Amino acid sequence: MSASHRGLSWSLLLPPLVVPTVGALFYFVIVPEGTLGKSIYTATKLFTLLYPVFFLRQIGLGGIIRRRREDSTVEWPGWRSVVVIGLATGVAIAAVGFLLMLTPLGEMVREGAGRVAARAEGLGFKEHFLLFAVFVSVIHSGLEEYYWRWFLYGQLRHKMTRRAAHLIAAVAFGGHHLIITLQFFPAALAFFLTACVVVGGLIWSIMYERQGTVVGCWVSHLCVDVMLMIIGFELIMGA
């Protein structure tokens, strides 16, 4: 069995499982404002971007855009299908999000508007929200798919069953979202929203598994982040 099939060792996979959550604990809770908090945020995002790069010779680039070489016998869906499924799932998830905002849950979310607006101002992106929203929706969603689906799930599936890899990668993906949502909303709502994130992570890792590329996952994730940015704009500007 080749190194690419064995994947990385557990000692190399444990840091990417926990660093985003630990980083969020520092930059969003312990030192949420000022130069130190912003530096920790930047360092955490640089970690998600650069950590997988150190292992490219071992794991290769297959699965980001081109399909994986070891799966060359698999009949992958066409690129049009990849994009259409990404759009369909993203729009469907976004529609559910907007519908939930029309329920009592939406009122619970709006009760946290003041805290969301205060944190946005403290972090310095309230006055540049459009640029922030474009960055999160387009660039950051791609970074998360590269990190959580292509790299982390892609390596975990070599260490355990596919079902377990899907679940662990999705729960780890939800970790830093839980830290953030707990700062704005009651615990029950924060755990519910994080559970939604975990379900999203499961959907996207299954898409990655079946499509052989993160392109469809990124398109879907982008649509969902657009929905979240619209809701975020309502909370921040309406507070």
First to last CA, the chain: 57
Give the chain's mean pLDDT: 91
pTM of the model: 0.92
- The per-residue pLDDT for 43 is 96
**Range with lowest mean pLDDT among 74-78, 85-89, 96-100:** 74-78
* Residue-range domain boundaries for the chain: 11-60+78-238
| Pair of tokens at residue 163 | 């079902």
Q: What is the pLDDT of residues 170-226, one digit of tens each?
A: 999 999 999 999 999 999 999 999 999 999 999 999 999 999 999 999 999 999 999
Residue 135 carries which DSSP code? I
pLDDT at 65 over 90: no
Q: What is the model's pLDDT at position 72?
A: 59
pLDDT in the model for residue 74: 74
What are the φ/ψ torsions at residue 93 (nearest 5 degrees)?
Answer: -65, -40
Residues 6+ apart with CB under 8 A from 163: none
Q: 90 Cβ partners below 8 Å, 6+ apart?
A: 219, 220, 221, 222, 223, 224
The predicted-structure confidence for 128-154, as pLDDT tens digits, reads as follows 899 999 999 999 999 999 999 999 999
